[in-house]
Chain A
């Protein structure tokens, strides 16, 4: 009896949370006057259905990018670094990947490998700028990394609008990367193997966080920077290394988007879908538990593709996805906030 009571006490708040979120979604559907049944079946169809599961594949392809960005920021967050500049690192990687692949001659496989490495390097360097600004100039990482999102966005936009533009296409985009460098599809599907890269990054993050000394040190730094400093850990070096790894993974995600999905850099292709922000909330949803991140990434990807399906089936604007995501994070953040504390940081940084 006592046990049942305890379970009730643990489950009840979550039940209320789910009810709240559901109520808000229904209110929004009611507001646009959408038929519930069609909206819900459209959602499920859009997220998991389609002919030969085409929409499910689209969801998985999106999962790859969101999970990659989530892993990237998770490594920073776990080290106590509020790096919210993932978007800039992602754009840097995507742009460099596309430019290297279109400009570098050579065997396709070599070009692909060089382009991916260059993209990771570009992401890492962009993340390091924010780190250097924090460590040597006293600029809080939170605002420094965020503000750096904007210059690179415009640099990338300029690069594909002027010097490297595919002019005949009439669009603001780079030339197509050579077809031989495109990532292969899984047999019989239209899902590229980019998701394997993301899973590899997730596996790396797991091993790195829990089974390497370096990962352990960065986690210590995240749990208590004072403790890390007191026991003599090289906090500055750890900070820069962590940011570089985060940035490299974000850059890799940019390369996946280029070689697996768009096959070129299109202006705004990495910014408009808010991959980086979705990655951040995907990590927050599961309280930064590494193995759960891909699930959370899949969940948010499904919310987005499902919303697109809801638009097709019931005329609900697909932007409802963003609202749903934000509402989920609002309700869940207050439940799992113990995982992350900005209070002591805020004081130290401001």
Chain B
């Protein structure tokens, strides 16, 4: 077991699993801070994964694939905004509907466009290669983790400090926080909270779309029905646990991604596949329970 953890190829595989969770969770941060209760990250992610394959297959370029994934994610964000913000549907209900819509639309289009069920793989799907960074790749231990990953991983990494600064310093970041914390103040300042929330939702869709692209055209070169497999929900948990703060979120996503990656590695150890598949969800539950319990206890201690 210990050998397995110290195996450099295990460490090198972690970013592949961290990236989709992290990108989706960063999108979730925008919504959380803007006061939109978006638990449709799973659907956004799945949409992105499919759209990336669609784009990469027809254009032959992974970048255009990722662009299509972003556009598809943004469209989902717009749909969410239309029904939640404009028509006033309940956020949880709209989220559930969007998750179902994503599941339905991706399997429907899988058959309608590619004429297959279950999975679509084709050599024509252009995937992201790995980027080797000269000097960094020679660093022991950390080298293979930081170098040789897909461009989306570096993008996700860059997004963490950027989002932190954006929320703390930028005018729009401030407005997003105001929309979440005190919408009346924002309205008094002549800014429509709904418009700010719309922007947050669309940006969230774009980030989730990229996360989906990592799943389908960076980790592998194929699309499988329900490919996101609960990772969007894990991202939701990460957002809730960190209350939408980018840095703590980064470490939670790192942890969840590492467990996800570990569950892949231990499959060779003779453990039944069902138990290794279960690991990411159990780990998420355990972290959720421990942190919630600790927080509740601290809140109680602080009050008395």
- The residue on B at minimum CB distance from A326 is B101
Are B105's CB and A323's CB within 8 A? yes
Q: Bound complex: CA of A340 vs CA of B39, how far in Å?
A: 16
In the complex, chain A residues whose CB is within 8 Å of the CB of B282: 151
Residue B293 at the chain A interface, CB threshold 8 Å: yes
Chain B's nearest CB lies how many Å from the CB of A278? 9
In the complex, chain A residues whose CB is within 8 Å of the CB of B89: 330, 333-334, 337
Residue A84 at the chain B interface, CB threshold 8 Å: yes
Q: Bound complex: CA of A157 vs CA of B272, how far in Å?
A: 10
Which A residues, 263 to 285, have Cβ-Cβ distances below 8 Å to chain B?
274, 277, 280-281, 284
Residue B131 at the chain A interface, CB threshold 8 Å: no
Given the interface pairs A143-B233, A161-B274, A323-B108, the reply to whether A334 lies near B103 with Cβ below 8 Å is: no
Question: Please, how many residues of chain B have a CB less than 8 angstroms from a CB on the other chain?
Answer: 45
Chain A's nearest CB lies how many Å from the CB of B28? 12
Residue A319 at the chain B interface, CB threshold 8 Å: yes
Q: Is the interface of B mostly helix, strand, loop or mixed?
A: helix
Residue-wise interface mask of A (148-172) relative to B, using a CB-CB cutoff of 8 A (1 in contact, 0 not): 1011001101100110000000000
Are A340's CB and B93's CB within 8 A? yes
Are B92's CB and A342's CB within 8 A? yes
Residue B87 at the chain A interface, CB threshold 8 Å: yes
Q: Bound complex: CA of A333 vs CA of B100, how far in Å?
A: 14
Q: Bound complex: CA of A155 vs CA of B277, how far in Å?
A: 10
In the complex, chain B residues whose CB is within 8 Å of the CB of A334: 83, 87-89, 94
Among the stretches B2-10, B58-66, B168-176, B236-244, the one at the interface with A is: B236-244
Are B100's CB and A28's CB within 8 A? no
Are B93's CB and A284's CB within 8 A? yes
Given the interface pairs A147-B233, A155-B274, A157-B274, the reply to whether A277 lies near B289 with Cβ below 8 Å is: no
Q: Bound complex: CA of A49 vs CA of B272, how far in Å?
A: 44
Chain A's nearest CB lies how many Å from the CB of B296? 4
In the complex, chain A residues whose CB is within 8 Å of the CB of B274: 154-155, 157-158, 161
In the complex, chain B residues whose CB is within 8 Å of the CB of A337: 88-90, 93
Given the interface pairs A82-B92, A334-B89, the reply to whether A326 lies near B104 with Cβ below 8 Å is: yes
In the complex, chain A residues whose CB is within 8 Å of the CB of B277: 154
Residue A206 at the chain B interface, CB threshold 8 Å: no
Which A residues, 138 to 193, have Cβ-Cβ distances below 8 Å to chain B?
138-140, 142-144, 146-148, 150-151, 154-155, 157-158, 161-162
Q: Bound complex: CA of A158 vs CA of B277, how far in Å?
A: 11
Residue A54 at the chain B interface, CB threshold 8 Å: no
In the complex, chain A residues whose CB is within 8 Å of the CB of B92: 82, 142, 340, 342, 346
Are B278's CB and A330's CB within 8 A? no
Question: Please, how many residues of chain A have a CB less than 8 angstroms from a CB on the other chain?
Answer: 52
Are A147's CB and B284's CB within 8 A? yes
Residue from A333, A342, A350 whose CB has the most chain B CB atoms within 10 Å: A333
Residue B112 at the chain A interface, CB threshold 8 Å: yes
Q: Bound complex: CA of A139 vs CA of B290, how far in Å?
A: 9
Residue A23 at the chain B interface, CB threshold 8 Å: no
Residue A320 at the chain B interface, CB threshold 8 Å: yes
Are B293's CB and A281's CB within 8 A? no
Residue-wise interface mask of B (100-117) relative to A, using a CB-CB cutoff of 8 A (1 in contact, 0 not): 110111011001100000
- The residue on A at minimum CB distance from B36 is A346
Residue B98 at the chain A interface, CB threshold 8 Å: yes
Q: Bound complex: CA of A158 vs CA of B295, how far in Å?
A: 35
Chain B's nearest CB lies how many Å from the CB of A318? 9
In the complex, chain A residues whose CB is within 8 Å of the CB of B284: 147
In the complex, chain A residues whose CB is within 8 Å of the CB of B37: 342-343, 346, 350
Chain A's nearest CB lies how many Å from the CB of B43? 9
Partner of B293, one of A138, A142, A343: A138
Which A residues, 119 to 150, have Cβ-Cβ distances below 8 Å to chain B?
133, 136-140, 142-144, 146-148, 150
Residue A341 at the chain B interface, CB threshold 8 Å: yes
Partner of B91, one of A136, A146, A277, A342: A342
In the complex, chain B residues whose CB is within 8 Å of the CB of A143: 39, 233, 236-237, 240, 288
Q: Bound complex: CA of A137 vs CA of B37, how far in Å?
A: 22
Nearest first, the 7 closest Cβ-Cβ pairs linking A and B are A322-B104, A334-B87, A334-B89, A326-B101, A138-B296, A158-B274, A150-B281
Could you list some 10 contacts between A and B, CB below 8 A? A82-B92, A144-B285, A147-B237, A147-B285, A154-B275, A323-B101, A330-B101, A334-B83, A340-B93, A350-B240
